[in-house]
Amino acid sequence: MPMFVDDSPAGECIFCKLVTGEIPSAKVYEDELTIAFMDIGQATRGHVLVASKRHAANLLELTPEETGAVMQTAQRVAAAVNQAFDPDGINIFQANGAPAGQTVFHFHLHVLPRYTCDGLAITWQRQEPGMPVLDELAARLRQALA
């Protein structure tokens, strides 16, 4: 089954249309910089998306203020999810780029309530390259941060 992908430009993407009210959503929360709404494709009961209101394709296009606002909204929504659904746990998930699993190219976080035996798996192949390789990788990142 093909996966839905929305890589429309700003103003034309599905999340931009949700922000402006052009298309309906089951809105949970909204403030000046963010919007939270129920994911139409519920991975688990209570799955919420938290998005920036301004169109930014990914994390790297957000301003620091928007980044903080989205995470604050995600924390607020996670607390509400915890109260409303009493899940066994909660994942906060974000994907940047198609290879990472991003299908709507408007920045958003997934707030995923987790239930024992819910069938949802978020896994990766663990690699342990050793300290010399980790030290080299860390040095490259420190240089990029400088």
Q: Which of 93, 4, 5, 21 has the alpha carbon at shortest distance from 57?
A: 5
List 47, 106, 108, 110, catalytic entry: 108
Distance CA 46, CA 84 (A): 9
Tokens of 102: 């991003």
Q: What are phi and psi of 79, to 5 degrees?
A: -65, -40
Asked if residue 86 lies in contact with residue 68, where contact means CB atoms within 8 angstroms, the answer is no
Q: Is 108 a catalytic residue?
A: yes
CA 138, distance to chain mean position in Å, is 25
Catalytic residues: 108
